Amino acid sequence: MRSTILAILAIVSLTQATANNDTEPNTDWQDALALPQGRTVAGTQSDDDWYLINAPTGDRIVVDLTFTHAEGDIDMRLYDDKEPTLDSVPGSPRAESTTHDSDHEFIVVSDDPGTYFIRVIGANAGNSYTLTWTELPSPPADDGFEENDSSAAAKFIAESVVAFGSQSDEDWYSIEIAPGNERVLASLRFRKAYPTTTNWGDLDLFLYDGDGNLIDESANPDRGVNEALNVNLIDEGYAEGTYYLLVDGDDTGDAHALNWAGVSPASTTAFPVPAANEPPQAITNTVTTLVNTAYHFALTDFTYHDAEGDSLVSAVLSTLSLGGGTLTHSDGIAVNDTDTLSAALLATLVYTPPTDSIGSPMATFDFTVNDLNMGTVTAQMNINVISATPLPPDEPEVPDEPVTPEVPDEPVTPEAPDEPITSEVPDDPVTPEAPVADESVPTDNSSSSGAFGPVWLFSLLLALIFRNKWVSRKIK
């Protein structure tokens, strides 16, 4: 019955939490508001405020509460769900943080996986506060920002983001100061509610310029005191640009929460207030490049959903499976597992596939997207490498054009015969001119010199001879 009630509370209150940052009504544990890991919620302490959290590992539950003490004191307690009943509060507190002079309360406790309650109590003065929580692996396991053991390996954290860490060595973080906001406010909270018998050691906070020169530090030796910086960079001879925060201490794995803000040099604000925010949720995406061609990522490749519509500030890359290729940023710096890259660095991210290799996907990595808070939903980036000259789809075969039958030649018209050659009409026989009678020659036919001359007479004579012979033969 109890587990059923808690499940219903989780569903109802999670819906309320997603809708807005107004935490009321959550004045008793039955009305506890579900608070997802990594989300920062803004509330007003006018009465008790209850929150429900689910810790899947139980390694180290870290709860961070920030407020302005001068406006009214606020404390907090952590309960487990082992003894809740409908008519009483859950058991005794598992841990609590009840300082009376600090702007922060901080709880760290190791316990079993399960459901827990956070109770915010105080002077009921209407004081505003922000509340967030996370889980950290127990020492000697690294936190999500490792390896960040030097300024060269510093991990970027955005303004107003609460960065939870575990101090087992030097932890370096890079920050960007914008023009007009040259006063740096930084706050480090740690081990506020540890059992007094546990000596987790001391932590200190340092500010360095972009060249690694120390500007200021907060190194209070009193155990149990938070560290804070309030530095006017203009007064120190600096301006906007890249700076570094260093968390250092006794290397005991002490859990801590760090956040910062850049404000106007004239501002009287004493400490940075984390912004209320719903963590963004990464969405799986696939990008494609050609064989032997590097892929240059854009910010839009890191797809995500954010309830507030905030811009991407950074992303954590993990579970790198590069298929023999390389993943670099800033013109050649190799990306390591769990690296946090700012938006500016993500815009320089390049995947170079192995030579002459294709695959879908060829490489993958996981990423979480951060805005003002660390994202808690992990998605996968797939990188496809395809052939440089993909074969086009088969085109339908075009049938041959029908053969047009050959048109027979037009019948040959026989050539008209040449018109018959008309024999040349001989000239009219020339009629010999009648000889002109010489008046001096006699004209009778007996004359041997006229038309019947000797030739004619000879022919006539032959004809008569042949005739006589023919006649005489006939008579015989």
**428 CB neighbour count, 10 Å cutoff:** 6
Q: What is the band of 169 on the pLDDT scale with cuts at 50, 70, 90? A: confident
In the chain, CATH 2.60.40 covers 281-386
- Mean per-residue pLDDT, 417-433: 52
Q: What is the band of 294 on the pLDDT scale with cuts at 50, 70, 90? A: very high
Query: So what's the pLDDT on residue 275?
Result: 66
Q: Are strands 163-167 and 203-208 parallel, antiparallel or unpaired?
A: unpaired
Query: So what's the pLDDT on residue 464?
Result: 73
Extract the tokens encoding 429. Answer: 């026989």
Query: So what's the pLDDT on residue 467?
Result: 67
Q: ∠ CA 344-346-350 to the nearest 5 degrees?
A: 130
Query: What is the DSSP code string of 392-458?
Result: PPPPPPPPPPPPPPPPPPPPPPPPPPPPPPPPPPPPPPPPPPPPPPPTTS--STT-TTSSS-HHHHH
Is residue 177 a contact partner of residue 91, using CB atoms and an 8 Å limit? no
Amino acid at 92: S
Q: Is the pLDDT at 150 greater than 80, yes or no? A: yes
Q: Is the pLDDT at 113 greater than 70, yes or no? A: yes
Q: Is the pLDDT at 304 greater than 80, yes or no? A: yes
Cα–chain-centroid distance for residue 21? 31
CATH of domain 137-276: 2.60.120.380
CATH of domain 1-136: 2.60.120.380
Q: What is the band of 410 on the pLDDT scale with cuts at 50, 70, 90? A: low
d(CA 371, CA 83): 37
d(CA 107, CA 194): 7
d(CA 91, CA 83): 5
Closest CA to 327 of 346, 342, 309, 311: 346
Query: So what's the pLDDT on residue 356?
Result: 94
Of 96-105, 138-147, 416-425, the poorest mean pLDDT is in 416-425
The model's pLDDT over 208-245, given as tens digits with 9 standing for 90+, comes to 999 999 999 888 766 455 788 999 999 888 998 999 99
Query: So what's the pLDDT on residue 1?
Result: 40
Extract the tokens encoding 79. Answer: 């309960």
The model's pLDDT over 379-406, given as tens digits with 9 standing for 90+, comes to 999 999 999 775 566 666 666 676 666 6
- Mean per-residue pLDDT, 311-331: 91
Q: Is the pLDDT at 109 greater than 60, yes or no? A: yes
Q: What is the band of 8 on the pLDDT scale with cuts at 50, 70, 90? A: very low
Could you tell me what percent of the chain has a pLDDT over 70?
Answer: 69
Query: So what's the pLDDT on residue 62?
Result: 86
In the chain, CATH 2.60.120.380 covers 1-136, 137-276
Give me the residues paired with residue 363 across strands. 383
Query: What is the DSSP code string of 351-369?
Result: EEPPTT--EEEEEEEEEEE
Of 18-32, 40-54, 411-425, the poorest mean pLDDT is in 411-425
Mean pLDDT, rounded, of the chain:
77
Query: So what's the pLDDT on residue 291?
Result: 95
The domain defined by 281-386 folds into Immunoglobulin-like (2.60.40)
**7 CB neighbour count, 10 Å cutoff:** 11
Is residue 59 a contact partner of residue 253, using CB atoms and an 8 Å limit? no
Question: Exposed (0-12), middle (13-18) or buried (19+): which is 121, by Cβ within 10 Å?
Answer: middle
- Identify the top-confidence range among 90-104, 209-223, 337-351, 450-464: 337-351
Query: So what's the pLDDT on residue 340?
Result: 81
- Mean per-residue pLDDT, 171-195: 82
Per the model's pLDDT, the better-predicted residue between 159 and 238 turns out to be 238
Q: Is the pLDDT at 427 greater than 80, yes or no? A: no
